[in-house]
Chain A
Amino acid sequence: MAQLDTREKLGILADAAKYDASCASSGTSKRNSVGGKGIGSTEGMGICHAYAPDGRCISLLKILLTNSCIFDCHYCINRKSSNVRRARFTAQEVVNLTLAFYKRNYIEGLFLSSGIIASSNYTMEQLVEVARSLREDHDFRGYIHLKTIPDADPELVQKAGLYADRVSINVELPTAPGLKRLAPEKSVGQIEGAMAGMKGAIEDGRDAKKKYKSAPSFAPAGQSTQMIVGADAATDSDIVAKASTLYDRFSLRRVYYSAFSPIPDASAVLPLQRPPLMREHRLYQSDWLMRFYGFKPDEVVSAAGDDGMLPLDIDPKLAWALKFREYFPVDVNKATKEQLLRVPGLGTKAVSRILSSRRFRTFTLDDVARLTVSVAKIRPFIVTSDWRPTLLTDKADLKRWIKPEKSQMELFAA
């Protein structure tokens, strides 16, 4: 095979990374390059430096070290039996590219993952070497996210945490049978074992930091994971339940979802239809409900239909509200924060603004409109000094609303 130049490799190894849903560069400790020998800073939320035509943000240089792999996971374009074009970066090439892009303000840092070559430990060593070189040789203070290899030596995986802001290990599939079928060389025990190990290391790191100021920060942006949606029989309810256990057990910062894409030369096991992107979107929304709106996992699950799937035509918060109408309407002038957060269309910001303004005024519908994006969506669920919805309080209508017809739902979803 002819030698590939760096640009050709970049094309191949970025293309291979495009199925990874995670791109964020947020949630790490604040630092900058003043007084240092290198470049880089992290402040506030991560910055999206560009957006691709698929609507996704480009924040990090997201590439694979290599797309060669000794494993044969069916959902993965890089699996052994795929005839995709292969390439491999040296650690040095990745370091140089990261620095060159960063200096031009194209990126916030690096998100590096890899197919498994030679052995899991060898691959993990290479990933760690890239991060080490960036931090130690170049005093790079931007963001680094390393995807760790599940069955690599725990000591190596923990070394990754010393250099990286965030580490992640993919759970791959929401069900054990799905994993068995699609990733025969991986196992739930191995993946979750690695997550548990990382959780311990992150906590130890935090304790050390409390005791000694000089202790290095260990994966300050925590750990995250990704699962593939739509490749096994898991319903949305199963997935929400799985995600919430993962959050609880391993203190994850984020669970990412990746809907199936048609993949070039995909394994025969994959469904070929266009990916159900809306399903992915609804799962992210349900994730938000749990993380920011005080919904419990079983409440989100109760918004799903009998088939365990969240409705695709309305968001899960609205679905919940339509199912549990007895909570509405909510009086904007009297309700608690928890109650206001349940109103479809009222975001966390709007709720806090309402709470702080309420001491000064009695809210009219216009006042609410000023603080929210679309008062039309909210109106049926709230009471203000000059507004009381009739639809929801009217008994006959209530019954009809319990099973809303399509046209009515669209009215609300607008």
Chain B
Amino acid sequence: MSDANGRCGNPADLFDRRHGVSGSAGVLLPDGPQIDPLKITLDQPDDFDGWREAARELVMAGVPPMGVVWQVAGEDGELFGSEGAAPPSSGQPMFSVPKPFIDMAKAAICHSEPQRFALLYTLLWKLKANRRALEDRADPLVDRLEKLAKEVRRDAHKMHAFVRFREVAEDGTTRFVAFFEPDHHIVRREAGFFVRRFATMRWSILTPELSIHWDPASEILSEGPGANRSQAPDGDPLEDMWRTYYSSIFNPARLKVKAMLKEMPKKYWKNMPETALVAPLIAGARARELEMIERAQAAPRPGGNLEAAWAALREEAMHCTRCDLFRCGTQTVFGEGPLDPRIFFVGEQPGDQEDLAGRPFVGPAGQLFDAALEKAGIDRSTTYVTNAVKHFKFVLRGKKRIHARPDTAEIDACKWWQEQERALIRPPLTVALGATAARSLTGKTVTISKVRDAPLLLADGSECWVTVHPSFLLRIPEEDRRQEERARFVEDLQRIRARSEELAG
């Protein structure tokens, strides 16, 4: 093992003066002059110091980018180059490079891209001519290198995040060992992060390329050969605990698998104990969510404050400005009735008299409604009655305020209150009186004649029956048809009463 803090190579060795394959350099340089490129061999794939040393000398000696080929000791590759005489010293003064270049180069050099040394050297060459070349971020070469550096930084970030230590007993003490597979040559670069974070722990990180070990007693970070997963310890009792945490902190109502995969790509999964849970958690999410909703619909527990909450909701509605209708009428006409009703009726909107009284269904339509309820055998005092739209919309004709139909935007804006009322009261059975109410409850435009014989299912799983609005019955001019429709309305209500008795058990 060599000390990872120190460089193993000495700069004088950085120019490979051994005879390489020679004579074929022209293959690599079709357009260039037929010069033999100089072959530079670096000690390590992340040998920044070696690259810097060599690159500095090459630049000063005036060797152009096409005159160098780079390789890492021990890496195969058909690199053609020839034995290089030491580059002739140009006698030029040294030039300095901007610090951002060093930062970028230190990162980019760890990339697995074989061309990284050459690309960096090309940029260095450019910088010599124009010290500000790096600031041209739209230059394809700068862009390419910035991207390499960025990928390295991302890999490093993922290493910080996804290394998972396992505790193993070792000669009376403990060691924390992790196995990790980075994409790039970042292990030496990132060792410091783990030293700073886990300064008092004895730990090792094994990777296929090399292993690093920290001894807190001697404060020495050492390097060893690469490892495979079978050499890493297997499991840690804490992992069960961690998996419990992972599955509990996840909210099944918010499944967003793509977002997860974007940040935690699958290639990292095999060394992370919690990721085995992902598939079952996703598969079970919908069921868990439904279960959450179902339990949410269970009878309220004692100790809640339903009455107070309803009163506060009503009070809030008094100041509603969700749509422009609040400017229209005298007041918000909120729903009324017991908070544990057998049936929850939703009408259209308050009329002239309701607007003045501040109570729903007290005008002519309300009287007709009362009469029909009585005929159907429904006691109004066991029902909750409210409107889809809570403000009176009208046009003035002389001194008369004539009812005007709410538009869909108004229905949808006001729907919020009806939803809150229903969420609070949780009626077992809801009745939509007319198309406006049906729109408010279902979010869709429905044709009453098509849906009045069978219930619709609402989002919370309860039943919604649709019938006509009593004011429709008031407006039918022909006596026969009026009688006919009224009878039909009462029939609907009878069916609804029967169903509500059924539901009540």
Contacts and interface: CB of A to CB of B under 8 A. Distances in A.
A and B are interacting partners: yes
Contacts of B135: 356-357, 359-360
Interface in B176-207: 176, 178, 193, 195-201
A392 to B, nearest CB: 24
A11 to B, nearest CB: 5
Contacts of A337: none
B258 interface: yes
Contacts of B247: 11
B176 A53 contact: no
B322 A233 contact: yes
B301 A82 contact: yes
A361 B161 contact: no
B197 A39 contact: yes
A271 B241 contact: no
Interface string A156-184: 00000000000000000001011011101
Nearest to B238: A100
B165 A104 contact: yes
Interface stretch (A57-65, A213-221, A288-296): A57-65
Given A54-B255, A55-B260, A182-B309, A177 B315 contact: yes
Nearest to B281: A53
B3 interface: no
Interface in B240-297: 240-242, 244-260, 263-264, 272, 274-275, 278, 281-282, 285, 289, 291-293, 295-297
B249 A18 contact: yes
A153 interface: no
B425 A48 contact: no
Q: Which of A10, A103, A106 has the largest count of B CB atoms less than 10 A from its CB?
A: A106
Nearest to A305: B409
Interface stretch (A29-37, A315-323, A396-404): A29-37
Nearest to A273: B459
Contact of A7 (B137, B166, B240): B240
Contact of A10 (B245, B272, B291, B426): B245
Nearest to B245: A14
B12 interface: no
Given A52-B246, A361-B136, A233 B416 contact: yes
A393 interface: no
Interface in A23-48: 32-41, 43, 47-48
A284 interface: no
A262 B138 contact: no
Given A33-B198, A270-B296, A361-B138, A51 B251 contact: no
B313 A181 contact: yes
A82 B460 CA distance: 19
A359 B313 CA distance: 60
Contacts, number: 262
Contacts of A100: 238, 241
A193 interface: no
Given A51-B263, A53-B255, A370-B143, A264 B296 contact: yes
Given A43-B193, A101-B242, A271 B419 contact: yes
B1 interface: no
B226 to A, nearest CB: 20
Given A74-B304, A177-B316, A54 B250 contact: yes
Interface in B67-122: none
A267 B253 contact: no
Given A97-B241, A370-B140, A53 B260 contact: yes
A184 B305 contact: yes
Contact of B249 (A39, A58, A361, A371): A58
B203 to A, nearest CB: 9
A55 B254 contact: yes
Nearest to B239: A104
A72 interface: yes
Interface in A366-383: 367, 370-371
B296 A262 contact: yes
Contact of B164 (A40, A104, A178): A104
Contact of A55 (B136, B259, B322): B259
A279 to B, nearest CB: 13
A7 B239 CA distance: 11
Nearest to A61: B245
Given A262-B292, A264-B291, A266-B296, A104 B195 contact: no
A63 B244 CA distance: 12
B132 interface: yes
Given A19-B251, A103-B198, A55 B303 contact: no
B375 interface: no
Given A51-B263, A269-B423, A41 B322 contact: no
A363 to B, nearest CB: 7
Nearest to B243: A7
B297 to A, nearest CB: 7
Nearest to A233: B316
Nearest to A268: B300
Nearest to A369: B138
A81 interface: yes
A51 B301 contact: no
Contacts of B409: 307
A49 B258 CA distance: 17
B309 A43 contact: no
Contact of A41 (B197, B238, B275): B197
B129 interface: no
Contacts of B249: 14-15, 17-18, 52, 58, 62
Contacts of B291: 264
11 contacts: A12-B248, A33-B200, A49-B162, A56-B250, A72-B303, A74-B309, A233-B322, A233-B416, A272-B297, A273-B460, A356-B135
Closest 7 CB pairs of A and B: A55-B259, A55-B256, A81-B303, A181-B312, A32-B196, A14-B248, A52-B250
Interface of B: 132, 135-140, 143, 157, 160-167, 176, 178, 193, 195-201, 236, 238, 240-242, 244-260, 263-264, 272, 274-275, 278, 281-282, 285, 289, 291-293, 295-298, 300-306, 308-309, 312-313, 315-317, 319-320, 322-323, 409, 413, 416, 419-420, 423-426, 459-460
